[in-house]
Amino acid sequence: MGSLFDAAAQSLFATLLPSDCRLCQAPLTRIARLPVCDACLSGITPISGRLCAVCGERIFTPHADAEPVCGECRTTVPPFVRAMAYGSYDGGLRELIHLLKYGRVRPAAGVLGRMLAEVIQGLGSEFQSAVVVPVPLHNRKLRQRGFNQAEEIARAALKKLNRSGLTLKTGVGVLERRRATESQTGLTDHQRQENVRGAFLVTLPKPIRSQDVLLVDDVFTTGATVRECARVLRRAGADRVFVATVARVLKSEVAWAIPEEVEESRALKAYA
Ligand SMILES: [Zn+2]
Ligand SMILES: [Zn+2]
């Protein structure tokens, strides 16, 4: 019902407000809050193949284990139980995250939140209830961006899941970033870990004490940030920490080589 009118209205709007897909520049045929075409959205697919059961990195060595663990996690056991991501930080997914963070197209959080919801579903049987904590931004960055993308994505995911037992905790005291740590260029994994040490703190541990925590971020890059957050949360009394991110940098793939601040400055120019 009303499809003729809708079609007419849509084409009228398309004439009035010509808009292109922000990812591939193809003209959009309908008005949507998110200016991204269906082809670009359906091109974003989950990570496939064999992954480390702890950190989610891709594993190439043939192993018979049902739950393979990568060499890095075998050497240094991470402070989180398990980290899972929806997709590889590449192509359309990377652009969609940029659209939210640097293009400040907030409806992108809805789509990214649905992907995060799938990750949380995947972790689902691991915990009955959890305090959901988005990785915080430094205040300066928060003021500059106007919102914390991890928090926006977490909200969208929880709305989609509508599952009891998941409580979002944000704001002062839960987990704070007291030092900006963007400058990770040219650092080795070990140096990155040292660079984030002391960057986060919990000043009001009550909500997380003896609770399982689900740490949420947009991208798992080297894991230095989530490892440090998990360490600080556990030290403040959290029971187990799980990590859910929308995307993960897989070491075998291209985005690995690009430092975050280089990406950011490029992306900000593109969205200027
Ligand atoms: Zn497109
Ligand atoms: Zn691993």
pLDDT digits (tens, 9 = 90+) for 109-127: 999 999 999 999 999 888 9
Q: How far apart are CA 140 and CA 158, in angstroms?
A: 27
What is the separation of C-alpha 59 from the centre of its chain, rounded to a whole number of angstroms? 21
Check whether 77 has a pLDDT greater than 60.
Answer: yes
- Is 60 exceeded by the pLDDT of residue 107? yes
Residue located via tokens 């929806």: 86
Beta bridge partners, 13, equal none
Ligand with smallest separation from the Cα of 95:
1
Nearest to 195 by CA among 213, 181, 214: 181
CATH architecture of 52-271: 3-Layer(aba) Sandwich (3.40)
Residue with tokens 């197209």, as numbered in its chain: 105
**Cβ–Cβ < 8 Å for 249, 224:** no
pLDDT tens profile 233-243: 999 999 999 99
* Cα(229)–Cα(226) distance, integer angstroms: 5
CA–centroid distance, residue 247 to ligand 2 (Å): 15
Q: Is residue 246 pLDDT above 80, yes or no?
A: yes
Q: Return the ligand number nearest the Cα of 84.
A: 2
- Which ligand has its closest atom nearest to the C-alpha of 91? 1
Is the CB of residue 87 less than 8 Å from the CB of residue 116?
no
Confidence of residue 93 (pLDDT cuts 50, 70, 90): very high
Domains of the chain, by residue range, sit at 1-43, 52-271
Say whether pLDDT at 63 is over 70.
Answer: no
Name the DSSP letter for residue 271: H
Q: Of the bound ligands, which one is closest to the alpha carbon of residue 38? A: 1
Ligand 1 centroid from CA 72, angstroms = 37
What is the pLDDT confidence band of residue 257, given thresholds at 50, 70 and 90?
low
pLDDT (0 to 100) of residue 1: 46
